[in-house]
Amino acid sequence: MRALITGASGFIGVNLVQRLLEKGHGVVGYDRRSYAEKTRMSQALNVGENFVFVRGDLGDQELLTNTISKYNIEQVFHLAAETSVDRSINDPGPFVASNLVGTYNVLEAARKTGAAVHYVSTDEVFGELGETGKFTEETPLAPRSPYAATKAGGNFLVRAYATTYGLKTSITCCSNNYGPFQCREKLIPIVIDRVLDGKPIGIHGDGKYVRDWLYVVDHCDAMIACAERAEPGAFYCIGGDCELTVLQMVDFIATEVVRFTGKPRPPIEHVRDRLVNDRRYAVDHSRITQKLGWRPRTDSERALTDTVKWYIQNERLWR
């Protein structure tokens, strides 16, 4: 396929670029980041003549439309988004602009050109789980933070464009991703960063919040499966079958960094909790498994260990 990825310089975007190129697809990366960022990405990935980078913002609907037309794009993977819960609480405005208005611009560009759109959403749109049960495609959307609300709004926009205009779309709601190239503000890079610098590791509240952890390569394979085989309008939940508390994840990552580097292990500091911090997320991926044959195939412990190794060996690409 000829694919365009919004947010191609981001964590999941970089990994999706690599995965699509490995499978022989042509890729246009669309991101507002600088040429230097594109160069760094090109140095890190095995990109060649099948990859083109376009510097552009989600707010520029004309550039989006022209780019899709120029490169005869068949499939748009819409990943670009503001994703920090903490920053969304402090200032929701950029999240509305990127996650809602930006998604509208992507959908309009696709409607004008006939490209299909795969929208990458999050399990946070469903709100909070109790001690048992899992999110499914039938779970009502009940977001509790400005970030989650804007992503849920994107879900509704995509569904509306599919129903109203007949746009070919698919949606996936994924659990917490981990792997190479993740931003320093996320949990795993934060822990690695703190251990390498010998600084205390801060944890919100009691640290007993449960998350389902999904290796980014498995996530990329699920998105590609949707683009290749999903029926128009499909909606799937994607999980990693790896439920851990924040404390458990921090302990594992810190232990691995200490093992690989010999650095002393810094203490944990419990800091003031967020205004909103959902106690548990867990995802039932049985629908996409039954329909498309996708399941998380990576051993979680091995993938987490490999992730720590990558960050230690590639400091220049993330620190």
- Of the candidates 124, 212, 221, 284, the residue annotated as catalytic is 124
Structure tokens at 229: 């085989």
- Of the candidates 30, 147, 161, 215, the residue annotated as catalytic is 147
Q: How far are the Cα atoms of 94, 182, 208, 257 from residue 188, in angstroms, in the given order?
A: 24, 8, 16, 11
Asked if 50 and 60 touch (Cβ cutoff 8 Å), the reply is: no
Q: Alpha helix locations (H) across 185-299?
A: 187-197, 216-229, 246-261, 286-292
Question: In the chain, how long is the greatest CA-to-CA distance?
Answer: 58
Q: Quick count: other Cβ atoms within 10 Å of Cβ 46?
A: 10
- Of the candidates 82, 123, 212, 256, the residue annotated as catalytic is 123
Beta bridge partners, 51, equal: 27
Q: How far are the Cα atoms of 61, 93, 105, 230 from residue 100, in angstroms, in the given order?
A: 13, 10, 9, 24
What is the Cα–Cα distance from 214 to 243, expressed in whole angstroms?
9
Q: Which residue has the tokens 């669309």?
A: 30
Region label for 294, one of left (φ > 0), alpha (ψ between -120 and 50) or beta (otherwise) = beta
Structure tokens at 126: 């469903």
The gap between the terminal CA atoms of the chain, to the nearest Å, is: 34
147 classed as catalytic: yes
124 classed as catalytic: yes
What is the Cα–Cα distance from 170 to 149, expressed in whole angstroms?
19
So which residues are the catalytic ones?
Answer: 123-124, 147
